[in-house]
Amino acid sequence: MWDKLKNDKFVKDLLVKLVTVLFVAAIALLLFDVLTQSKDGRRQIVDMNGGTEYTEETALATEEEARLEKILSQMKGVGDTNVMITYQSEEEPDPVFSSGSKKNNRKVEGVIVASEGAGNIVIRTNIIDAVATVFNIPASNVVVFEKSKNDME
């Protein structure tokens, strides 16, 4: 039976057409991947939990960090400050009569603060209390470090 199919011109033409279609589809998929990449050539990196390295949420977090740095720097004795905020993302299911988009609630999970005045225990405690109050998180989720002498120059 294979010998009959091997010598059949219709089967050969069908096989050639199938291989051609598969080749064209593979080229189309490669072109689609190249054309949909961002203009600067970087790809978005997705971590194990499905999060990405840079998103709109990251930009919002940077704004919150800048606001917190500004207010902490204005506190007496704190000095120059750098802040990093980490978030715990929780997706809520859509309500029955919603517009169809999922709401993403960002809850602050922890905050790291590096400050010039953090060597003073009173100032360090004030920073921890301020950050814990702003984000409604336990004080144990706020870590404050004194900035190194190299950063102060």
For residue 120, give the CATH number of its domain: 3.30.300.30
DSSP assignment of 16-41 = HHHHHHHHHHHHHHHHHHHHTS-TTS
Tell whether 28 and 79 lie within a shared domain. no
SS3 of 140, please? helix
Q: How confident is the model at residue 105 (pLDDT cuts 50, 70, 90)?
A: low
Residue 135 domain-assigned (yes or no): yes
**pLDDT tens-digit readout, 27-47:** 998 888 777 765 555 555 555
SS3 of 44, please? coil
Tell whether 65 and 15 lie within a shared domain. no
pTM: 0.53
Candidate from 56-65, 122-131, 132-141 with smallest mean pLDDT: 56-65
Mean residue pLDDT of the chain comes to 78
b/e per residue, 66-89, with b = 16+ CB within 10 A? eebbeebbeeeebbebbbebebee
